[in-house]
Structure 1
Amino acid sequence: MINISKLYCGLAGESDDLRYRREKSFGPIVVYNCTRRCNLRCLHCYSSSESNQFSDELTTARAKQLLSELADVNCPVVLFSGGEPLLRDDLFELLAEARRLGLRTVISSNGTLLDSGTAGQLAGAGVSYVGISIDGDEQF
């Protein structure tokens, strides 16, 4: 539910703006599965992710071209997902390019590779949200 006070005072967040603005001049919100690699093998996962390198992943140059094309169609948000996006060697280069193009970036991660240094890098790269999947055995 929208916080009317925040909206009235001009303090609504980016998500409120995307959800409630009247003009719909923005393009699609895109989930970019930037890698199939993953350091886990969760039974529930829809992705056939493994720790192997996959030859069908976009190159850095092609991924940057994709981000440019998304910016051209006014895509407001790109969600980097996978697999585990933090396993992509050029992730921070792609995040920098997305930021340069004016794209808002968010990440979906399993969280196992996050530490204070990586969190600081993500914040420095302008990532506005990191979603962490919490799944596991009932004993946890």
Structure 2
Amino acid sequence: MDMVSYERIKDSVVFGFEEYVEEDGLNVAQASAKILEEEWRRVNTNSYTKALYFISLAIESLKLNEIADFVYFKLATYLDNTEFKEIADRDDVEQLLQDIELCKKLIAKNQHTILETNHSTKARIDYILELKVN
């Protein structure tokens, strides 16, 4: 399986939430930050992988009626992006576009709480998102 395929990334986020939220008792902000930190190389591969991670984190969070502020406030960038030229697999892109629509529907329900994180957490996430993949 391609390390940046839709299924690989979705599984990483879903299993990460299962482990960190359900088993370890972390909240969605802590789980989201941990996943981004652990997966930074894959996250920063290209615009497709970054969008898929953020949309997937948002969907898993919104299923629990919470979302980290650092995910929520970056979503606009990814919810409006429908062009992923660097990805050859059109099926992966189509699945992401379907997830974007699902995410928009979950946000529109307005049943979520935005979890505010401290400045150091936001700064750490910004730093992770700026790392270059060699």
* CA radius of gyration, larger in: 1
More helix by share: 2
Q: Which has the higher contact order (CA 8 A, sep 6+)?
A: 2
Do both proteins adopt the same fold according to a TM-score greater than 0.5, normalized to the shorter chain?
Answer: no
More strand by share: 1
